[in-house]
Structure 1
Amino acid sequence: MRLNAKLWQSVAKNYAKLLEEEDSCDVSITVGSGDDIKTFNVHSLILRTQTPYFHTAFSAQWGKKKGDKIVLSKPNVTPAIFEDILKFIYSSELKLDNKDVQHLLGLLSASDELILPVLSDHVQKYLAINQASWIKEHPLETLNAAFQHESWKELQNCCVSTICKNPWMLFETPNFYHLDESILLYIIKKDELQMEESDIWYHILTWGIMQHADLPDDLNEYTNEDFNNLKKTLSKFLPVIRFFNMSLEDFDTKVSPYRKIFPDELYEDILWHFLKPDRPKKYISSILPKRHHPYANSKFIKTNYAKITAYKTSYSKYATKPDAFKRVMIGP
């Protein structure tokens, strides 16, 4: 017969009380660094049972003893976060209300390090449901945090889904060009990304240019080496930007000035697609489909150059590379 929820809560509370009984503790764990340090006295049996991390840490090969206690130090975990982890380990309960996002991200990181997948899933779901507005306000910080660990799929999916529906929250961020290549590539590959392909190209090109402080401001002054450097930076993006779904006018005015960064066969495939769509492709085995959103390749949303100009102006206030946007040819 299984315990009902009310009875289990009573049992869990009794386990939680053990944290207050230091006489029976056989482990001393010091966490934090600098002025934020605290020592917790805990029970090895309980911690070993809940996670393999402590099973290894308390083993004869790894554990260090001082007197009759095993001693352990975790300087990379704050006392506040470790206190929450102990509450979860001892009682299987943890209230996340009124915790700020930085604390939640720290808790998520610590739960991953301490091999507590149930806690990690719980925090990710809470962030996804309750902190959507914070994700919108801090897309770069949240994305970078979410992709720190491959196991944080729940948070990753939430961040990417939010950005695909509201792409300007990311692409208009002043420090957008600091985004890691792998994360940006993951987003660009999404069919659900609600941006026109010409806008995607503009921002990916801008991101690539911003990786090179020594590129001339005037495109006409680019050397072959400059084009080659930009080509290497954008090599992974070119096959997944859906140039085939652009208008011929957009391709001609916004893409063709950068012809030299394209592999010859890819550029030829795109040109032939406009002239003879059924012609077999040499570089692309299959053309990526149109993105799955109501405005893709329609006239409902067109690139707003006034908006982009305003974006360039606001961006320049924060950019560490002066006049970087002058290097991007926008077109008429």
Structure 2
Amino acid sequence: MADNTMSFLFTIIISFGFCVLYASAELQRFALSSKHDGSLSFLVLGDWGRRGAYNQSQVAFQMGKVGEKLDIDFVVSTGDNFYDNGLTSDHDNAFEESFTKIYTAKSLQKQWYSVLGNHDYRGDAEAQLSPVLREIDSRWLCLRSFIVDSELVEIFFVDTTPFVHDYFIQPQEHKYDWRGIGSQKPYITNLLKDVELALRESTARWKIVVGHHAIRSVGHHGDTQELINQLLPILQANNIDFYMNGHDHCLEHISDTESPIQFLTSGAGSKAWRGDTKQMNRRDLNFFYDGQGFMSVKLTQTDASIEFYDVFGNVLHRLTSSKQLHSSM
């Protein structure tokens, strides 16, 4: 009898353990409501946090104007939120000096959804994930990987920095905060499984994936081979509309040659003008701008309208995409 009781308890513990492991592996979701007309609009910004320097404040000013015009619902940050080496703690003054005191326009007082970039991992990466920052500024929401979910669109935020092998094997003079990551291979394997499952089960009208590193880029860093090998096949197999990233300090639009995916870089929130490019003659390149700026996105049931802006608020490039409504007979 005692043996049976112990066996039963062991089974319960093991089963409960598996449930906890599975639940912790699922990507956290944040519900999002569309406007009364069913549309959504937001801004996309990357590589920005420099206490207002390198035209960060000027970009913020133009974001406020465009945000008001579009009546944006939220802002997406593609990472490298604080330079040069992330935050030192969740009480680092850089958070307010580079975020709260810079993005002051009324239209930007909306939720900011952020991922970590490689520069963020060079500091206290977990500080940016801390609820303490949300107490300081309620707009701030940064996690490693998560989903923003509405009936119109699902946005899948993916932690791309741990994909890059050189950060582990050739970090040069940099020190990366891998707490919460552990070993690289199991972390990436589990993350890819979670992303693939979430994408496969998604019924959203539009599907967008956001990461810090580019899959395709002609900028300074260029393509990220680890993402091409491991993440891109999953995106191609699951009808992704857009992949949005930062990392390269520029604005660009590249089409996938094997699927309808559009690769959109918005990493020009402050320091830009690198002056070095790669493969500018590639046939899938639609637009490249080596300067500061940001991107806007407006989605409806049938149309996506995306615009790239420079530091003066000029529209440099437009991208439109349409979907047919399927009527039931």
Q: Normalised by the size of structure 1, how large is the TM-score?
A: 0.23
Q: Answer 1 or 2: which has greater strand percent.
A: 2
* Bigger Rg over Cα: 1
Larger relative CO (CA 8 A, sep 6+): 1 or 2?
Answer: 2
Q: Normalised by the size of structure 2, how large is the TM-score?
A: 0.23
Q: Answer 1 or 2: which has greater helix percent.
A: 1
